Each structure stands twice: as structure tokens, then as C-alpha cells.
Structure 1
């Protein structure tokens, strides 16, 4: 039970400490920012004002939009209904997006605009290069480029400009599909709202025209081919009819039996069918060639691979179709018309089933080949024509066999009628061909005329006079946020990069004992604390807070240092101590003076020796003569009573540095110094040596080797950790005792420690607040 209660109390205490630490850290960060608020203000103003100037100086950009509907005609019916899982809406839409953003459409648009609008009339056509249309930043960039760039501006040809316009149009164009629909949003940006609408409408017009040309091109090729065939057959038919008429006038009417007439009719019919099949085969081959030309080299490779994969089934399909075609052709001679029609329907049904199976199982199975890599609409047309080609080749082969068969029968007719039979057969053949071509020609014309684009413009582009750039409100908001963030970030980064000692925890982390913490005490604050009768124009004397204001918090911190110093050792008494620092201007002379006063106030006879023979200051603080002093005593040029001066403070005596020697280190390390130190120790309870900084010279180390230890003064925010670590190692190597450290010039607002916060709130502010009296 006791263990459980103890664990609970431990957890509660731990959670409380973590919470308190987090609060202090946050408070500390706020204090750091508030102390350097001027940096935040400067960075904020620079970025915020710069953002406003940048925004105001930017040219306004307008955006025009249009929406089109793509009607998917590929999966409308027939064979391709079963292909919808593969030729899906996304594929079709993506194909159309590729076409819209193609260089072909952009080039057609630019060429059309160049016809209607002269150069420099649109921003797209370098209107923005005109001086009156340029923003300040653009003009400044051009001037700087002229000043620092040695390259001369090149004069571009019209073709070069045209290429630039095309690239510019493609860069400004944005095309994206609307999810779960067959619509596409197209938008374009320009410095003019009217120009944006003009360019976008022209681009959609060219895209529509291109799509219409694409869907009607194949039908047009068929019509042109049939027209050529009709023009070729028509004069031949007229010539044969004329030959037949001349033959009848010369030879008279030829009487043929019924069998011969049927042979002539059948031969002419099959000859016409053979011609028609060959013509249709030529049309299909032309269409395949045209469709394949729409693919680039990579897409052509993909197409060839797919056709090769499907080739075994195509061969099998060819054989089955050949059997059915032969049955259909042979059945025409022996069965009724209804049966022939049924056979024809069965043939078509069988062929469509086999083609569908082929396409679904082999042509569009997803695998290593990406279905999106090839235009699915064109690919479907190619596969459809490949199937037609198989059927037509079979027809040509079968009709060729029948044609040779009936030609052989005709040759067996008696020679008296053979010339007439040949002429009549040729006439009937060409007549049937002519009628078939005319019929197909009319069908092709109707098909070509009925071709429509699968593109429907839902909304035409209209000018929108609300600019999309610059986004003034957003830019100002971002400038406000980034301005504050930059200022605070610089402060926090500087704080993070700061490797100086700022708190008691920093010193303890280095393995040093902190005996005292001295609050920050500037000269102005010291004058404010001191009574008017004690305050003077002498900055050195104003630092003696322990004497002139013994009840102040700073004086209390020196008395706390005195107590901690006495309690830091148990088995011996510290009677002589060297006070020094790592570097200059860390406040060691102020600390040692006030510490000596604290000991004197405690009733001890104290001697304060200025051991800094390079830059002495103790005589200035206590208003004593500069010499004679320590240097004179070591060199035997003065007596002890001449070199020690009593101060206005009871029990406190001062020995100044004396005449400044050229070799202070030699004097401090001499035998005479040791003898002097022995004499002084007998006469005083406490002796304090003010020594030069350790990093500068070895004076402090020499004095430390004779005394009971060294007290190291560290100014918060100034002394670097690596320097203190280095000094600590040197003291260890020379076997000099570091009695402890004093953290000087601590601003409670600069630390996250709860102790400092408490000290600041309940003691420091009472003396240094606005209401200090």
C-alpha cells in the first residue's frame, strides 16, 4: 500500500514538473521574442511592405473559361458494345485532352489569329513588350539586363515568332476533365479579359474543326475513290454498248438458248461482285493506311504488337469466314431467296461473334501494354477494318474461283455465238458494276454529309473582368504571416545557435558548481537604486551596491554568494581566493569588490588585492591611490603600510596594483610574491585577488596555485561553453582548484528557470520597476 501511494505521489510530482517546465519554456520563448521585438518589427515591415509593393506592381491577369462535352460514339453499339470495360469514358476524355493540348491545335489557332489580328495587337503576340504596357519590375529587369548583359537582342523572323506564340499559348492553356462526366473545362490566362475570351473561343473553334475533319476524312476518301471508279467504268460501259450495237447491225440478232443466257447473267453478276469486292478491299486498305498514319512511331509499335498477338485467331477466323462465304455464294444457285438471306444473316452473326471474341480476349486485355498509350477510337477502327479486310479477301478469292468457272463454261458454247456472248457478258458486267458503284457512291455521299463532330460546346468563353492575379488579399495575408514568422524565426534561430552560457543549468551541465547568481546591474540602474547622497558621476563607485544599498536584492545576492562560498568546503576554511573570468568585461572586478564588502560587513578583516597589473580598476572603485601597491611590494620598493589603504568601509582594506611592470607574470610567480602572500595571510582573515582573465594571460593561474582556489565569474550570454570547458580542463591539468562559479549579469527575463522568474517577480521588480523610489 505504501509503495503504491509512493508511486502515485511520484507520478503526480513528475507530471507537475513536466507541466511546469513546459510553461516555463513557453514563457521563456515569449520573453526572448519580446526582448528582441525590434527585430520582429523590422522584418515584419520589410516583408509586409515589400509584399504590398510587389502586389501593387504586378500586372493584372485575367482568366477565361469554356466547357465542352465529348459525346462518346465508340461504344454506341455493334461489336464495340462489349469493349466498354476497356474503352471507357476516362480513356476517351484523356485522348481528347491530348488533342486539345497538342501543338497541331495550337498552331491552327495561332495561324487563324494572325490572319485576323496584326502583330503587337494581342498580349499573346508580344503586345506586352510595348513600353507602355510593361510593369515597373519588367522595365527594371530589362534595364539591368542591358547594363550587365553583353548579348544583343536578336531580331526574330515571323516563323520564329510563330513558334514562340505557340509555346506561349500552350503554357497559358489549362485543360482538365470534370470528374464523373464527359465534359472538359478549358481555360486560358491573359493580361486582357477580352483577349483571353477571343483566344479561347478560337482554340475551341479550331479543335471542333479538327475533330470534324478527322471524323469525315475517312468518308471523304471512300467517296473520292468511288467517284474515280465511276468515271472509269462509265466510258467503258458506253464503249462496250457501242461495240455490241455495231455487232448486232452487222451480224443480226443472235438467238441464244436459256442456258446461255443464264451463264451470261451469272458470269456478269460474279464479275461485278468480284470488281466490287476488290474496290471495297482497296478502300479498306486506304483507310487502314490513313488510320495508322495517325500514330507516332511508339504507338505504331504498340499497334503492331497487338495485331501480332491476335494474328493466330485472325487466321482461324479467316478460315471460318471463307467456309461461310463459300456456302453463301454456292447456296445462291440452288436454294430459295429466303434461305439465302438466312444464310447471309447466319454468316454475319458468326463473323461478329468471332470478331468480338477476338477483340475482347486478345485485343484489349490489360497487360504490359498501356491502353492509354494508343488512341482507343482509332485503334477500334483499325481492328474493325482489319476484320473487314479478312472478309473481303475471302470474297475476292471465292468470286475469282466462280468467275474462272463460268468463263470456262462460256468457252464451251458454239463459236457462232461466242463473240456476242463475250460482248453481252462485258456489257452486263460493266452495267452491274456501274450501278453498284453509283449506289455505293450515293451512300458514301450521304455518310459524309451526315458526319458530325462528337464535340459540343456547352459554354462559350466570355470576358471576365475580375482578375485572378495578383491575389491582393491573399498576398497581404501571406506577407503579414511571413513577416511575423520571419522575424520570430530569426530570433529563435539566433537563440538556438547561441552557444553561450545563459543559466545556472548550463554551468551545472558542464560539471561546475554555481555559488552565486548576480542579477543584471547596469550603471543607469545602479544610479536609480542608490540614494542621491551616495550616487555620483563616478561609474566605478556606483557599482558598489553592497555598500551604498545593503538591503537591495543585488546586495542580497552577494551575501548569498558569501554564504555559499563558506559552505562549499567542510574540512577547511577558504582564507585566500582568486576571482577571475574567462574573458574580458565579464564583471569580475565588480563581483570581487562587492563580495569583499559582504565579508567586511560580516565582521571579517578583508584585504582586496588588485592582481590585474595590466588593466587595474580596484583603486577607481574605492577611490584610493593607484600606487604604491602590489608591484611595488614585490620589487621591495615600498613598505606594507604604504601599499595597503583603508577604505571607508569598516574592515575592508585595498592593495592596488601599483606601478605597472613590463613583466607581471614573472612578478606574480616569483619567490618574493610567495613571501608577501605568506605575510598577508597572517594579517587578514580573507584575502581576495582580482586577477586578469584566464584566456588572456597566466596571471590568474599563478595566483591560483598559491591560494585556496579560483572563483570563476561568467557573464550570462557572453561566455561561450567551449571556452569554459577549455579553462576547466586547464585548471584540472595544473591542479588548481575551482572553488566555484558566479553567474553574473543575469536578466531574469532572459531565462526559463522558475527560480529566476520568482526572483524577478518578487524581488527584482520591486527595486527596478517603474515605481522604484
Structure 2
């Protein structure tokens, strides 16, 4: 029987394996190529880090306190002691077009003014050589569309406050402080701080485009869950501008919060002013009915038990009336499935059950006592409601005139001194690694594809 040799010949194994020594030799032979490519990529990374526009980040801190609405909700915390501010709606409000639109109008962010540099490297080179950028202050600008497209204008700075404005179909000279109008374009330059010959590109975007651009660089986040501390951040290449934008957004948010608080107080005040005459009329009628009944029954009075029950009933009625006022305000802030609203409804249900229990005790009394107690209760309840309305009216008048909202700015906006982009050290390291990887990979790939006869045994 023939035995088959299953051992692989040593030569065969050497042919199928990668000769590490040979590959190391290839790397050594091409060391100049590897060093050159790696150095090239590293230099590109260095150039990119030095010439790219630095991006800065500004931040501000805003606190949203527990929403109290107005004076009507002053006693609500005892029902929901663990309630916390809802930050999600406030974050959406901060990022809304209502808030950002006011900032865009205040800072004229629809107007775009960019100094003209040599393409790609001009801006970076000017920054490296410490060349001070020009400044152009515009007090009014209107650039209409041309053939349905946004148009760009080029402004060239001249001597002694003069400038030249060039459009696609016109060229006109202007003067600082004077209104310039040409082919629908209206421009008033307030001040120019730039060398003669400096050029600026002027354009104007719609309010929606400005809002969308602002939303791309503006973020709002809550520092910790249910803390009510909102951190507003913005990135941009102009440190002063992003600081002004953040401060404007925070102030506009604060002002709308105060205005909303005052509007809620105003609505509640109008409601009370409508109710006061009606409640006063009902109180007068209740007092008259009680007096007439006592005269008919020879001034019958309540016994001690009936007086005690009357006090309890009036107390329950007063609490129910108080809840009615609170519900009128809460309904403007929350839906019925909100924990605050549910807590109020649960308390109302408890008080109504207590009132039913007291009414059963009244039913067991003599008819005369029942009638006197009923009429007395109407008078006391009406008087309590009327006094509550008067007190609420006074509280709301004070609250309306001194509304402060439930938002306050903790830290005004400040821009970090160091840019967040580009990360120079990281870019250089990545450039070095990428250059080394590509050069070594190219050498190894070429060596593996080019395998010729290297020994007589291979013939």
C-alpha cells in the first residue's frame, strides 16, 4: 500500500508566504519616497491649520424657573411640591423664528458684508501677516433681486470717504453718510475703516434665509435633566458678532417671557373685573333673602351645631372658589393631563366629597334651621368670594405693573479666547499619519504586485 506524503515542501511554503525581509527591504529602498509623501501631507495639514479661518464659540446661561403664571397660582406649590420647570418647550421657543427674527432685525443680519481677498489663501495670509481687516458700517441697505436671482455688489473704497459701487448693470460713485440710489439699490454707508482700494462684497438675504443660517450655528441644551438651566451656544468666525447675537437672543427671550407674563395677568384681571359686578349683585340678593326670612320667622337664629356646620361649609366653599380661580389660570398654561392640572382636579374632588358629607348633616336638622343655614351660607360664601375677587384684583394689578417673568440671564454671553476649530495639533498629527499610511501602502502594494525571479531555484 502506497503512503501519500501530506507534508508540504518547504519551498512551497516560502512561495505562498510574504517575505517580511523583502518587504522591509522595499521600505528601506523607498525611504526617500515615504519621507517625501509623509512630509508633503504634513505640510498640507500645517498649511490648512494656519490658513483656515478660525471658528470661535460663545455661550450664555439662562435659568427657567418653575412657571407660576401669576398671583392666582401663588398657592399651587403645596399640591405639587416636586414640580420642575419644563425646558423642552423653552428650548423650542429660543430656537423659534419669533425670537431669532427679532435678533436679525436688531443686528441687521440680513445684510452680508465680506471683504474681498485673494481666493483660498488670501484671508488666511492676511491674518498671519497681522493685516487689520477693513470695517464697513451700513446704516441702510436694500438690494433687489435681478432676473429672479440675488445679486452681489462690489464696493471699492476710495479716498476721503468716497467709494465706488459696482453691480451687474451699473457703476456709481458714493460718499459716506449720503444715501445712494441706483436701479432699485439703496445704500447708506455710515463709516468706512479700510485702506483705499479695499473691496467689499455686499449682498442681502431674506429673513427666512438669515434665520436658517442662524439656526445652523445656534444651539440650546439643558445642562442637567430638569434643572431649568439652559446653555445657549453659538459658533462663528467673528468673536464680537456672535457675542452680540447671543446677548440679543437672550434679551429677546427674556422680554417675550415678561410680556407673556403681563398678558396672562391682564387676561386674568379682565376676567375678575367682569365677575365683580355679578358677584356683588348675588351677594346683595342673598343678604336681602336672609333678612326677609328672619323677619318672617321672628329673627330666628342658628344653634351651636348649625353654626359649626355653617363654618365648615363656608370654609369648603371658599377653597372650592379658590380652586376655580386657579383653574382659570392653569387652563391657560397646561392641558388637563398635566400633573399640575390633575393635582388641582384631585383636590377639587376631595373638597366636593367633604361638602356632600356636610350637606347630609344639614339634611338631618329641622327645616327652619336648614333654611336659615342655607341662606346664611349663601351670604357668607358670597361675601368670601367678593373679598377674594377684590384681593385678586389688587394682586393682579400689582403683578401686571411689575411683571418679571420666570426667566433670568445668569451669565451674559462671552466668547472663548481660543478658537474651537481648526484643531491645529490634531490636524498635523492626522496629516502625518495619513501621509505615512499612503506612502507605505503604495510601496507595499507595488512590491506585492511585482514579484519576479529572485533565486535560481525558482527557474
Q: What TM-score, normalized by structure 2, do the two folds share?
A: 0.56
The answer to whether 1:62 aligns with 2:56 is yes
The corresponding residue for 1:585 is none
Change in CA separation of 1:503 and 1:212 when aligned onto 2, cut-off 3 Å: farther
The corresponding residue for 1:189 is 235
What secondary structure is seen at the aligned counterpart in 1 of 2:300?
A: helix
Change in CA separation of 1:184 and 1:501 when aligned onto 2, cut-off 3 Å: farther
The corresponding residue for 1:204 is 250
Alignment of 1:117-196 (within 5 A): 117-121=107-111, 127=112, 130-132=113-115, 136-137=119-120, 153=149, 161-175=206-220, 185-196=231-242
Change in CA separation of 1:384 and 1:425 when aligned onto 2, cut-off 3 Å: closer
CA displacement at 1:395 relative to structure 2: 5.4
The corresponding residue for 2:103 is 113
The corresponding residue for 1:551 is none
Distance (whole Å) between structure 2 residues aligned to residue 398 and residue 184 of structure 1: 49
8 Å Cα contact 2:104/2:211 also seen in 1: no
Change in CA separation of 1:227 and 1:276 when aligned onto 2, cut-off 3 Å: farther
Offset from partner CA, 1:721-744 (integer Å, 9 cap, x none): xxxxxxxxxxxxxxxxxxxx44xx
Distance (whole Å) between structure 2 residues aligned to residue 279 and residue 273 of structure 1: 10
8 Å Cα contact 1:44/1:480 also seen in 2: yes
Alignment of 1:500-511 (within 5 A): 500-501=451-452, 503-504=454-455
The corresponding residue for 1:349 is none
Change in CA separation of 1:200 and 1:395 when aligned onto 2, cut-off 3 Å: farther
Distance (whole Å) between structure 2 residues aligned to residue 103 and residue 195 of structure 1: 22
Higher strand share: 2
The corresponding residue for 1:102 is 92
Distance (whole Å) between structure 2 residues aligned to residue 387 and residue 134 of structure 1: 69
CA displacement at 1:64 relative to structure 2: 0.9
CA displacement at 1:189 relative to structure 2: 0.5
CA displacement at 1:487 relative to structure 2: 1.7
Change in CA separation of 1:435 and 1:120 when aligned onto 2, cut-off 3 Å: closer
Larger radius of gyration: 1
Partner residue of 1:479 out of 409, 414, 431: 431
Distance (whole Å) between structure 1 residues aligned to residue 450 and residue 53 of structure 2: 47
8 Å Cα contact 1:57/1:135 also seen in 2: no
What secondary structure is seen at the aligned counterpart in 2 of 1:112?
A: helix
Distance (whole Å) between structure 2 residues aligned to residue 119 and residue 70 of structure 1: 27
Distance (whole Å) between structure 1 residues aligned to residue 378 and residue 216 of structure 2: 64
CA displacement at 1:60 relative to structure 2: 2.7
CA displacement at 1:110 relative to structure 2: 1.1
Partner residue of 2:275 out of 216, 226, 229: 229
What secondary structure is seen at the aligned counterpart in 2 of 1:59?
A: coil
Offset from partner CA, 1:545-574 (integer Å, 9 cap, x none): xxxxxxxxxxxxxxxxxxxxxxxxxxxxxx
- Structure 2, unaligned runs of 5 or more: 1-16, 69-75, 123-146, 152-204
CA displacement at 1:488 relative to structure 2: 1.9
Distance (whole Å) between structure 1 residues aligned to residue 413 and residue 35 of structure 2: 46
CA displacement at 1:280 relative to structure 2: 3.8
The answer to whether 1:386 aligns with 2:345 is yes
8 Å Cα contact 2:109/2:210 also seen in 1: no
Alignment of 1:502-651 (within 5 A): 503-504=454-455, 514-515=456-457
The corresponding residue for 2:197 is none
Offset from partner CA, 1:275-314 (integer Å, 9 cap, x none): 7566445435445544444xxxxxx9xx5xxxxxxxxxxx
Distance (whole Å) between structure 1 residues aligned to residue 225 and residue 369 of structure 2: 66
Distance (whole Å) between structure 1 residues aligned to residue 277 and residue 433 of structure 2: 80
- Structure 1, unaligned runs of 5 or more: 1-20, 122-126, 140-150, 294-299, 304-378, 414-420, 505-513, 516-740, 743-773
CA displacement at 1:193 relative to structure 2: 0.7
The answer to whether 1:435 aligns with 2:387 is yes
Distance (whole Å) between structure 2 residues aligned to residue 458 and residue 412 of structure 1: 60
Distance (whole Å) between structure 2 residues aligned to residue 270 and residue 35 of structure 1: 103
Offset from partner CA, 1:102-127 (integer Å, 9 cap, x none): 25544343132134222435xxxxx2
What secondary structure is seen at the aligned counterpart in 2 of 1:102?
A: helix
8 Å Cα contact 1:57/1:136 also seen in 2: no
What secondary structure is seen at the aligned counterpart in 1 of 2:444?
A: helix
The corresponding residue for 1:460 is 412
Distance (whole Å) between structure 1 residues aligned to residue 282 and residue 66 of structure 2: 45
Distance (whole Å) between structure 2 residues aligned to residue 237 and residue 471 of structure 1: 76
The corresponding residue for 1:283 is 325
Change in CA separation of 1:185 and 1:440 when aligned onto 2, cut-off 3 Å: closer
Q: What TM-score, normalized by structure 1, do the two folds share?
A: 0.36
Distance (whole Å) between structure 1 residues aligned to residue 369 and residue 270 of structure 2: 35
Distance (whole Å) between structure 2 residues aligned to residue 64 and residue 45 of structure 1: 36
The answer to whether 1:47 aligns with 2:41 is yes
Offset from partner CA, 1:492-513 (integer Å, 9 cap, x none): 23334x1634645xxxxxxxxx
Change in CA separation of 1:186 and 1:398 when aligned onto 2, cut-off 3 Å: same
The corresponding residue for 1:558 is none
Residues paired across the two proteins, number = 354
Distance (whole Å) between structure 1 residues aligned to residue 399 and residue 60 of structure 2: 31
